[in-house]
Amino acid sequence: MQTTYTTNGTEVSYERHGDGRSLILLHGGMAPREYWNPVVPHLEAYTIVIPQRPGFGTRLDEPATGADEILTRETEYVRALVDDVDGVPVLFGHSYGGLTAIEAATDAMVEAVVAYEPAVLPREFRMRVDLADRMEELIADGKRREAVKRYVDLVLHSGEIDDLDAWLTDWPVWPDCVDLAEEVARMNRAVEQYRLPDRFDIDVPTLVLTGTHGPDFLREGAREVHEALSHSRLVEFDAIGHSGPVEAPELISAEVDIFVNSRC
């Protein structure tokens, strides 16, 4: 593991693999940095940089509480990584990591951005969503496990999975991820309060990815992000869900590689 620091002194640890153009992989939700393990073998031509998000596996001296603070904290750690790696990197983020990658690219020196279903909610959906409220109520009642299950059910499965408990039994991060209940609730609050700008101030090429088997609201959000970018390409994968990078790592990685080498 290597270490760098944000401007306010937050420690950022990261793994480094390979030798080539720097590609920073930003995980989202409750995923640990190991989320990207299936992807790494398919991107051997790059120097892969995989950080652990502050607060998700690393202890924070002063955890962020406000929605704006959380996104600011995320973009600060990405900027620290951008400054620490060799050359001008490409950012590849999944879900909340996708939103972070796009926001960081507004003032960080990057070569390109790839975002798989960035955590941006369409306006009509955002106006009625209440996941953060429900999670916080469950946590306050001592039902932290139920709070995380609600997140997994609605965000990863659109509330359509028949046997969530059986699925969770085979999920590698369950039940350890219950320790992140408060942080996930705060993250969801940040997502619910995020306002998509009419136009992002990003000049670099951007690739927005989505899948037909993920939540409809995230697929719609991906399209809206694409439309708010000046230099964007949108690719939709058939029969792939919100966890596309690990469901189909070879396919997703190939698309990323083509994009980076043709647009950068």
Q: At residue 62, does pLDDT exceed 60?
A: no
| Other beta carbons within 10 Å of 30 | 28
Confidence band (pLDDT; 50, 70, 90) for 56? low
Query: What are the Cα distances from residue 217, in Å, to 45, 99, 206, 224?
Result: 34, 15, 20, 10
Report domain extents, the chain: 2-120+196-263
pLDDT tens figures, 37-50: 999 999 999 999 99
pLDDT of amino acid 66? 54
For residue 37, give every residue at least 6 positions away whose Cβ sits within 8 Å of its Cβ, in sequence order, or none. none
- The packing angle between helices 144-151 and 181-193, to 10°, is 40
Asked if residues 201 and 106 have their Cβ atoms less than 8 Å apart, the reply is: yes
Calculate mean pLDDT across residues 8-27.
91
For 2-120+196-263, which CATH superfamily applies? Alpha/Beta hydrolase fold, catalytic domain (3.40.50.1820)
Out of 32-36, 145-149, 223-227, pick the least confident: 32-36
Calculate mean pLDDT across residues 86-111.
95
- What's the predicted TM-score (pTM) here? 0.91
For the CA atoms of 91, 94, 95, 99, the dihedral, rounded to the nearest 10 degrees, stands at 0
Q: At residue 19, does pLDDT exceed 60?
A: yes
Burial status of residue 126 (CB atoms within 10 A of its CB: 0-12, 13-18, 19 or more) = middle
Q: At residue 264, does pLDDT exceed 70?
A: no
Calculate mean pLDDT across residues 51-76.
65
d(Cα 41, Cα 31) in Å, to the nearest integer? 19
pLDDT tens figures, 158-213: 777 889 999 999 888 899 889 889 888 988 998 999 999 999 999 999 999 999 99
